Structure formats: structure tokens, C-alpha cells
Amino acid sequence: MALTPEVLQNIAFSKKMGFDKLDQLPPAVTRKKMKQIPKNPAPIPVGEVINYIIPGENILVRIYIPEGAGPFPVVSYFHGGGFVLMSVDSVDDICRQICACSVSVVMSVEYLLAPEDKYPKGPDSCIKATKWMIEHAEKYKADGKRIAVGGDSAGGYMSLYAAQKLTLEGIKLKAQFAAYPVTDHFTSNHFSYNENKEGYILTAQIMKWFWGNYLTDDSQIDEASPLRTKVFSGLPPALVITANYDPLRDEGKAYADKLIEAAVNTIYKNYENIHGFLGTGKMGQEALKVACDFLKDKLSD
């Protein structure tokens, strides 16, 4: 199938930003360059935005609160970046849209990054932040009993990982959302890793580099791969979105399939686009609306 103009535009923009060469510089250098990306001059308005560092954890969260009195449900959101890059700034537009469209408090989490903080410190910080929000929800016009987790790319991984661990702890989430998530270690060699190994910005080589920074102990591969968990039953309703031209496509679908096999209420959608398209262009806006509608529905009761 020929690539659409929207997909070609996404590829051209990503190349211009150097996203096809993320593995060629030290992470600290790339992070510094990413801070120079221009911000949206007209961000979607929400009621209030609060930056806060969780005491004792050194975890920055950015909390988006809708207009109105509340209490509102909560979405704990995790940014992408291959476990290594990006920040709450990277997903500011996405979080604003989720806040406004789903009428939810959105807590965007700046979780600990590799290689400085290797597995499991990143996902552990996501879990700690989510539990902190449950406990302190009332301070932010929020209802800690109506909470979902969400994220894109490595943030989708964080969302699925957190949902597993929080469920095991007896914390009942209302929903989980993941856009083109990492769910499995690259050594599983899913078909899409070969089919889409290069040419679509996120390459198989870049993903291997991300994993190499994130996980250095091979004995932890199974526990660090959400797809390899033994129990899927009891997990919250899920929305999993994948991109067709993406090395991660098949592991994302495999995760959705396992949820469905375990009788978890699951929606799976695959878009004819590349990794990172959420919120970008007509297709990306459509996918983000699907996510907002899903979250609004699951958080409504």
C-alpha cells in the first residue's frame, strides 16, 4: 500500500527533527536538543496547570485540571521516548487535549530515565506517582477512585506495566490506554521488527539501543516485558492503538490479543501511519479522539 501524504509528511518532519538518528548521540545530548523544539504557541486551554515534585521521590508531575468544580476522574499519563528521552513537555499538547476532551484531571509523569536510572526505576516511579495521586486526588479536584493510566510508546509500556502491578496490589483502575506501546523485548523478534526495521523513523536498531540503555541484566527480560506476564485476567478495560509502519506493531497487537483471550474488555485499532503519530495530522487527531472517548466512557462511573 502506498504511503499517504499525511504519513509522508510525518516521516519528513521526523527526519527534519533528527528522530531517525536518536541512537547516534549520547542521551544527555539528545535531550538537550529536544528542549529546543518550539512549543505550541496556542496551547489548548484548561482550567489550571500545576507543576509539582512529589516529596521524597524527586518525581516531577504536571497536573492539568479542567474548568469547573469537580470532582473529576484522573488519567495518569506517561510520555514516550524509548525509556531514555523526552519529558512532560513532549506530551503537553496531548495531555491538554485529554484533559479538555475527557473532562479529566491529567497527571503527566516525568518518570526516571535510563541509562542513569535503569529498569525497574522508570516504571516504579510511574507506579509511585499514580499511587500518590490516588492518595492526594482531592487537592486537585479529582476523584482517586476513578483513575486510568495511559501513555504512548515507552509511555504505553509504562501504562501497561503499571496496570499489571497496581492490579496485583488490589488497586482497581477504571481503564488503561496505550498507543503503539513497547510490550516485549526485541529478542522476541516479532515479524514487524523485520518488516518495518528501517525507513519509518523508528528503526529496529533504535529500539535495540533503547533497550540496551534501559535493561542490562538479561535475567530481568521476562519481568521487564509486559507481554510475558503470566496472568492477564482481572486487568482493567483497555484501548491499544498501533501504527502499521512500526517495528512495535505486532507486539502491541499481541498484547491486545492476550487481553481479549483473558476476557478483558479490549479495543484494538491499527492505523496506517508511523510510530509517534498520536495527535498529529487528521489520523493522529482521530486516534486521540478515540482515546479521549474511551477514557471518558470508562471513567464515567
Could you list the active site residues? 153, 246, 275
Q: What would the grid cell of residue 154 be?
A: 515507552
Tell me which residue has cell 496551547: 43
Q: Are 82 and 22 in contact (CB under 8 A)?
A: yes
CA distance 241 to 96: 19
For 225: left if phi > 0, alpha if psi spans -120 to 50, otherwise beta; the answer is: beta
Provide the H-helix boundaries in the chain: 5-17, 27-34, 92-102, 121-136, 154-168, 191-195, 204-214, 221-224, 249-261, 281-298
Q: What would the grid cell of residue 109 be?
A: 509523569
Backbone angles phi and psi of 24, in degrees to 5: -100, -5
Q: What would the grid cell of residue 293 be?
A: 472517548
| Degrees to nearest 5, angle at CA 269 with 95 and 279 | 30
CA distance 164 to 145: 17
Q: What are the respective helix, strand and coil percentages of the chain, to the nearest 5? A: 45, 20, 35
CA distance 295 to 17: 31
| C-alpha dihedral, 105 to 103 to 75 to 147, nearest 10° | 100
